[in-house]
Every structure is written in C-alpha cells, then in structure tokens.
A and B are shown apart, each in its own frame.
Chain A
Amino acid sequence: MDDHSVITLLASITDPPEPASRVSIVAALRRGRRRQRLLQVGASALAVVAVAAVVTVPRILLSGNTGRSASPSSSATGPVRQPAMPASAPDTFNVLVPYAAFGWLPAGYSEANVPLSGGGLLNSGPTEVVRMAVTANGAMVRLSVYARAACTTGARTPDSCVRATTSGRAPDVNGRPAWWIFDGRGIAWEYAPGAWADVNIPAGRLPHLAARGGNAAARLNARPSAAERAATQTPSAGTRDLVLKIADAVKYAQHTPLAFDVKLASPLPAGWSLQEMGFHVVDGRLLADGLNVGPAADTSALSISATKPLGYGCNYVSGQSSYVTRYGVKWEYRVLDDHIAKNVEMLCSMQPIDGLDVNIYLDMAPEEAGAAPLPGSYQLGGAFGVYAGLHLLGLNPANWTAAPLG
C-alpha cells in the first residue's frame, strides 16, 4: 500500500452515526463567563477571593438557619415540654432518618452553626446518631443516641454502650435511670429498655470557630453567654442542670429525613448498602454531606460528596495525580494501587458542577495486603463509572431528594 492509497482511504472515511450530543452551549457560556471574570480579576485577586470564600461561604450557607422551624426551641430559662419517651428502641436505625434530635438548647447554641468544614459532627449511622450544636464562638453540646445493637443487651448501666466513665447516679431523665459522665459535664440515660443516650458539654471549643471568634457580629459581642460560661468552666451545679435540661428534652423516633443533593442512579453491587452519613443543617433541612455505601467488609468503600465549594480545592493525600477533562468537567484523578492502599480511585472536580464540588472515593479492595477485591467493587466501573451514574441536584433545596439511591 503506497501513500496515495492511504490518502484515498483517509479521504473516503465517512463518520459513523452520531449519538446525541452532550455538548452544552449553556454550560460553555457559564464556564466561559466565569473564566473571563477570573482572567480579569487576576491571580492576586483570586487568592483574596479564595480566602474570602473559605471564610464567608459556610457563613452564607448557614446564615438564616437559626430560628427555623427545624431548630429546637432555645431559651435559657423557659419551661421545656417533656417529649414522650419511647417504649422500645430499634435494634438499628434507618440511616436516612436521624432517629433523635435536640428538643431544647441553651441560648446561642444551634446545629446550624456547625461549620461545613468540620465534618463528622452530625452523623446518622445504623447504631448511633450524633447531633451537635455550637455557638458562634465554638462552644459545643453533643448528643449521642445509640440503637439497641450498640449496647450490651440487658445491661443496666451506660457502660454497655456509652463511651464514657460514669461518676455516680444522676437524677432520672424523664423517669428513666441516668448517670453522670465526664465528671458532671455530661449525662447518660436509658431512653428505652437496653438502649442508651448521652449528652455532654465538652470543655473545649471548636478550634476554627474559636480562632476567628465566630462571625463578625459575634466578635463585636464577644462576651460569653451564661451557658457558654457554664460550659467552659469547671463542671458546676449549673452545668449539671444544663445537661439535665437538654437530656430531658431530647426527641426520639424522629421523621425528618436527610436531604441529598446527589442521587446515585446506578445499581449497587449485591450486599452493598447505605452506611453512616454526616449531615449539616442548611436552610432548616438536614443536608447529607454525601453518600457512603459499601459491603460489610468495608462499609465506606464508596464515598461520594457533593458540597457547596469551600475554597479548599482537591485536598488529596500526597502522591501522583492526573488532571483530565471528562464529561465536560476538569478533574483531579488519582489511582492508588500498592500494598497499603490497594486499588483506590479518587476523583475530585476542580470546578463546581451545577454549583457543587464533587468528590468520589472508591476502594476496590480492603487495605490488607493480598486481600481479595471487595465483592462487586469492579461492577461500578471505577470512579468515573460512579460519576456517570450520579445525578447532581444542585443548590436549590426544592430539588433535593430523600431517596438517594435508584
């Protein structure tokens, strides 16, 4: 075959049938405008914008959440209506609907103040629900409610599941036996036969809130409230009264579901299910931080997060990254395949997609050297395969879903 024949063949190539185009002119306009703005602003201004975003975005997201209907009543002295105590506790919780919630909080404390970057402060798991409320200056109240499966069946003390040392009997909580924990900074009580809960007021503060002293308004009025003073001083009768009052008002068997801004349409491998999930209070709704699914051997084998940009970018562990444009998005893509972290794929969007930063972590084998691949992990088609089956629901709460799978 000579050059002429090759050229003739090249000229005769006809294109195969075209599939429907995924190219979006609207997306090009949007990204183009953004790029142009960034070019105009310049690199130095960008750095300022990034820093400002880190500080302000969480506050913008969280502002206006206090005092919403989903928040517990908040009063230092007012009477607290006692909630009904459950006759029995479930063996395991539905992770999509946090089982318990605060019914009352001291003034200034709110779940909506929990920073988006904190991670892991509010959790809904199969055996434990964790709620936390903080003040603008980082003082905390923490509530943990355990399912029966987390506790030793039949045990009559909180040691069976509460991870704290008891320091004597406390007054009953709504008629149920209770013990002081953390030297009186907390209280643990049996909210239903064989199932326990605890509330405590940690002595410290959330460092990133404490460091910048909360929001601007809080800095101007930086005098700590009576509740904050009680929380940060040596446990006193005041502290004990406070934790008892919070414990008395805890609500159980709640029906407020988590809202998800992502939905995974692809079927999960057999044996994989939803696992413990973090969440935040945004616009009065419980917004899940993402999706965690996995088999019993590795319950967090697949983690997907889609969050409003926090300004941190892709914050991966050290190692080789690749940068790629795929599905019209710039990604940082990392594949780890060694004897420690075997076959892990990580994908991080380098620009928001529908307003969300997307991170996907897919573990395809347990961390033990030589371990067999996780059953079904390869069915997902790697991190890009996961993304292909993902629907991003954007920033509008009206579009969020309580059913993140299927």
Chain B
Amino acid sequence: MRQSREAEYTEYVEARLPWLRRIAYRLTQDWQLADDLTQVAVTSLYTHWNRARDATSTDAYARTILVRAFIAERRSPWARRVQLGAGYPEYAAATADHDARLDVRAALAALPPRQRATVVLRYCYGLPIDQTARELGCSEGTVKSQTAKGLAALRRALATLEAWKV
C-alpha cells in the first residue's frame, strides 16, 4: 500500500520538480533559496499526498503548499533579520531588453512576500483571482488589494530605477 503511494508520489515529484523549482525561483529570486523552499514543499507534499492526489488539480495543491511555505518562511524572525541571498544576478540576460527585465526582477524581489506571491501567481502564471485566493489561503478581496498594492509598488520601483538611468 505504502509502496504504491510512494511510487505515485515519486513519479509526480520527478515530473513536476523543474516546474516547482521555477515557481520557487520566481518567488525567492535566488536559486539556493528556491531549492530550500522546494525541498520543504515536496516534503510537506509527501505527508499530504493522499489529499494532493485526490485533489481536483494536484499541481494546484503542490503550488499552494509551495507558496504558503514561502510566505511562512519569510515571516520567520530569521528571515526578517538575515539576507542570505545573493544581491546581484549571476547570469547574462538573453535578450536585448534585459535592463527592463532585470529591473522588474529587482523590483519584484523588493515586494513583501504576500504581495510578491500574489503578483507572481496572477501575472507570471496567469491565475485568476479566485484560484489565487485559494492558493494563498485568503479572500478574493485580499488578492485584489494585494495585487493593486503590488503593482503600485512595482510601478514606483521601476520608475525610480528608470530615473536613475536618465
């Protein structure tokens, strides 16, 4: 019984690990932190595997675990005191408008965790408001307000970054 359950779990995680890592990266903007976050999430997914497997969308369930783990981690006293992530990107941008993309990454990284998660789910993954609310465990009204605040913060940050370049 446990063996078949674990086989299902392993098959799912092996297939979806790259996808989960990318979400974790977009939330954390740091591959080291992304790996840690993904490890926490897939461990938690194991303990909730029966529910995840039977959910309407296992992907949505796994992503919910990941996003909530991210928010919980960023709330911890340690996260408030210590910044372990690298401060600068360590890769070359692939396209000509890389400045704008680096800027938006920097601005995204500066958002508070819940706003960042809301914006990432809404606009990087195109989730509707109701699904975003389910995954974040909050009301649709909260998603709307967090989205508006997040976008406003991004706008301000990008405008500031743009002004420095003039």
Interface residues of A (CB under 8 A from B): 1-3, 6-7, 9-19, 21-25, 27-29, 31-33, 35-36, 39, 320, 322-328, 333, 335, 384
Q: Min CB distance, B164 to chain A, in Å?
A: 14
Contacts of A31 in B (CB 8 A): 43, 46
Contact across chains for B124 and A18 when beta carbons are under 8 A apart: no
* Top 7 A-B pairs, shortest CB-CB distance: A32-B46, A322-B78, A324-B78, A10-B123, A328-B39, A16-B91, A22-B35
Contact across chains for A21 and B47 when beta carbons are under 8 A apart: no
Contact across chains for B105 and A13 when beta carbons are under 8 A apart: yes
Which partner residue on chain B sits nearest A16 by CB separation?
A: B91
> Is B76's CB within 8 Å of the partner chain A?
yes
Among B40, B43, B91, B159, find the residue whose CB has the most chain A CB atoms closer than 10 A: B43
> Is B101's CB within 8 Å of the partner chain A?
yes
Contact across chains for A25 and B26 when beta carbons are under 8 A apart: no
Contacts of A325 in B (CB 8 A): 36-37, 39-40, 73
Contacts of B47 in A (CB 8 A): 32, 35-36, 39
**Cα–Cα distance between A157 and B151 once the two chains are bound (Å):** 82
> Is B21's CB within 8 Å of the partner chain A?
yes
> Is B94's CB within 8 Å of the partner chain A?
yes
Chain A-chain B contacts (Cβ-Cβ < 8 Å), number: 127
**Cα–Cα distance between A346 and B32 once the two chains are bound (Å):** 21
Contacts of B22 in A (CB 8 A): 15, 18
16 more A-B residue pairs beyond the given contacts A10-B124, A14-B101, A325-B37, with a C-beta to C-beta distance below 8 A: A1-B158, A1-B162, A7-B123, A10-B123, A16-B91, A21-B18, A22-B32, A23-B38, A24-B39, A25-B17, A29-B6, A32-B43, A323-B77, A325-B36, A326-B36, A333-B82
Contact across chains for A25 and B10 when beta carbons are under 8 A apart: yes
Contact across chains for B39 and A23 when beta carbons are under 8 A apart: yes
Contacts of A322 in B (CB 8 A): 76-78, 81-82
- Across the interface, A10 reaches (CB within 8 A) one of B17, B31, B90, B119, namely B119
Interface residues of B (CB under 8 A from A): 6, 9-10, 13-14, 17-18, 21-22, 25-26, 31-32, 35-40, 42-47, 73, 76-79, 81-82, 84, 89-91, 94-95, 100-101, 104-105, 108, 119-120, 123-124, 126, 151, 154-155, 158-159, 162
25 of the cross-chain contacts (CB-CB < 8 Å) are A9-B104, A10-B104, A10-B124, A13-B101, A15-B22, A18-B18, A18-B25, A21-B38, A23-B21, A28-B39, A28-B42, A28-B43, A28-B46, A29-B9, A29-B10, A29-B46, A32-B43, A35-B46, A39-B47, A323-B78, A324-B76, A325-B36, A325-B73, A326-B84, A328-B36
Contacts of A11 in B (CB 8 A): 123-124, 126
**Cα–Cα distance between A39 and B73 once the two chains are bound (Å):** 21
**Cα–Cα distance between A403 and B152 once the two chains are bound (Å):** 57
- Across the interface, A23 reaches (CB within 8 A) one of B17, B73, B95, namely B17
Q: Min CB distance, A34 to chain B, in Å?
A: 10
Contact across chains for A18 and B79 when beta carbons are under 8 A apart: no
With A322-B78, A323-B76, A324-B76 already in contact, the answer to whether A12 and B101 are too (CB < 8 A) is yes
**Cα–Cα distance between A14 and B105 once the two chains are bound (Å):** 10
Contacts of A29 in B (CB 8 A): 6, 9-10, 46
With A13-B104, A22-B35 already in contact, the answer to whether A2 and B155 are too (CB < 8 A) is yes
Q: Min CB distance, A352 to chain B, in Å?
A: 14
Contacts of B78 in A (CB 8 A): 322-324, 333
**Cα–Cα distance between A226 and B79 once the two chains are bound (Å):** 60
Q: Min CB distance, A80 to chain B, in Å?
A: 56
Contacts of B108 in A (CB 8 A): 10
Among B14, B45, B81, find the residue whose CB has the most chain A CB atoms closer than 10 A: B81
- Across the interface, B91 reaches (CB within 8 A) one of A17, A22, A33, A384, namely A17
Contacts of B159 in A (CB 8 A): 1
Q: Min CB distance, B154 to chain A, in Å?
A: 5
Q: Min CB distance, A78 to chain B, in Å?
A: 54
Contacts of A33 in B (CB 8 A): 46
Contacts of B37 in A (CB 8 A): 325
**Cα–Cα distance between A370 and B21 once the two chains are bound (Å):** 45
**Cα–Cα distance between A16 and B86 once the two chains are bound (Å):** 14
Contacts of A36 in B (CB 8 A): 46-47
**Cα–Cα distance between A22 and B18 once the two chains are bound (Å):** 11
Contacts of A2 in B (CB 8 A): 155
Contacts of A335 in B (CB 8 A): 81-82
Contacts of B94 in A (CB 8 A): 14
Q: Min CB distance, A354 to chain B, in Å?
A: 15
Which partner residue on chain B sits nearest A15 by CB separation?
A: B22
**Cα–Cα distance between A13 and B125 once the two chains are bound (Å):** 11
Q: Min CB distance, A89 to chain B, in Å?
A: 48
Contact across chains for A25 and B42 when beta carbons are under 8 A apart: yes
Among A6, A25, A27, A33, find the residue whose CB has the most chain B CB atoms closer than 10 A: A6
With A11-B123, A15-B22, A16-B91 already in contact, the answer to whether A328 and B35 are too (CB < 8 A) is yes
Among A19, A28, A333, find the residue whose CB has the most chain B CB atoms closer than 10 A: A28
Contacts of A6 in B (CB 8 A): 104, 151, 154-155, 158
Contact across chains for B13 and A28 when beta carbons are under 8 A apart: yes
Contact across chains for A25 and B13 when beta carbons are under 8 A apart: yes
Q: Min CB distance, A17 to chain B, in Å?
A: 6
**Cα–Cα distance between A107 and B125 once the two chains are bound (Å):** 72
